[in-house]
Amino acid sequence: MTDIPKFVKINEEGPREGFQIEKGTIPTARKIELIDALSDTGLQQIQTVSFVNPARVPGMADAAEVVEGFTPREGVRYTALWLNEKGLRRALANPKLFIRGSISLTASEQFLLKNQQRTVAENIAAQAGMIALFKENGVTIDRGSVMAAFGCNYQGEVPVGTVMDQMRAIMDLAAEHDLPIRTISLADTMGWAVPERILRVVGAVREAYPEVEIALHLHDTRGMGIANAYAGLEMGVATFDAAVGGLGGCPFAANAGAAGNVCTEDLVFMLHEMGIETGIDLERLIEVGRLAEDIVGHPLPGSVKVGGSLSAMRH
């Protein structure tokens, strides 16, 4: 229990996750409305859009307009996602965005072969090009991430040793390019983790790299998101990605219809009930969860927006 943090930082990913995966068209104004509403909840970081190929991700065709349109609030970092140089340049074009580089590796070769037509070795080698690109554009690189760190739909089990191999590759690349890695994000990309697995993988990374802050990116594909977050807290993890209302979903065919990222307000509910601060106004966040449902036009998976928080019942 002693490792449980006193303050947890949440990176809200709902706008990007939700806008990217929804079937129908969401008006740009409503996307902006959601980001502005999130800005008023006390969240410190919001991922707004991804700059990707609009032919492949039509829901992100208006990414630049969305970024143009929202009203930045002081103290909030607005981030974006990109997959290549073109996307990065589009992100850099807007000064509202907080741009940081990351060394991103994947712990499953089958996943890489299927999604990026690369082996693990080729993926590591390709990072040098991304690092050069970040440097050319004056982008600070202080993060690393390991995708599929807890299992993979294509490969099956991902041994802890394979995650540690990717960790070492990140740290070697960072040392070679003189980059101080402050944070490592471990992603349960396909929702394979259970709490015991979180303890094992986070424990191994923490033991080998005690100076690095660990962040968790958890998917709720099989309903384990909140339990996995709790296991992360037990291991001292104090940074989590989450999506308001449970916006988003699962892009993998094998899990069609399944939930996406762990739901922000459910996570914040648990944190506050455990006495862990987040700086977030839960009641406002629940309202934004309901707004998100209204925007996408169908029920979203989060539970607290249905069950209600407890603050009113305490008085």
1 touches a second copy by CB under 8 A: yes
Q: How far apart are CA 253 and CA 11, in angstroms?
A: 26
Select 204 or 258, whichever has its Cβ closest to a second copy: 258
224 touches a second copy by CB under 8 A: yes
137 touches a second copy by CB under 8 A: no
Q: Which of 44, 194, 213, 290 binds a second copy (CB under 8 A)?
A: 194
Q: Are 202 and 186 in contact (CB under 8 A)?
A: yes
167 touches a second copy by CB under 8 A: no
List CB contacts of 78: < 8 A, sequence separation 6 or more: 35, 45, 46, 47, 48, 67, 70, 72, 96, 97, 98
* Active-site residue (options: 67, 247, 250, 285): 250
255 touches a second copy by CB under 8 A: yes
Q: Token pair for residue 143?
A: 């993060």
270 touches a second copy by CB under 8 A: yes
Scanning 7-15, 34-42, 87-95, 189-197 for contacts with a second copy by CB under 8 A, the matching segment is: 189-197
Can you state the percent helix, strand and coil of the chain, rounding each to 5? 45, 15, 35
Sheet holding 77-82, edge to edge: 77-82, 45-51, 9-12, 239-242, 213-217, 183-187, 141-147, 101-106
Closest contact distance (angstroms) between CB of 296 and a second copy is 16
222 touches a second copy by CB under 8 A: yes
Q: Are 163 and 202 in contact (CB under 8 A)?
A: no
216 touches a second copy by CB under 8 A: no
Q: Give me the sign of the Cα torsion angle 197, 201, 207, 209.
A: negative
Has 263 been annotated as catalytic?
no
| Phi, psi for residue 250 in degrees, rounded to 5 | -110, 120
Q: Which of 27, 129, 159, 307 binds a second copy (CB under 8 A)?
A: 307
Query: Which residues does the annotation mark as catalytic?
Result: 250
* Binding footprint of a second copy on the chain (CB under 8 A): 1, 4, 151-154, 156-157, 191-192, 194-197, 199, 220-224, 226-227, 229-231, 250, 254-255, 257-259, 263, 266, 269-270, 273-275, 302-304, 306-310, 313-315
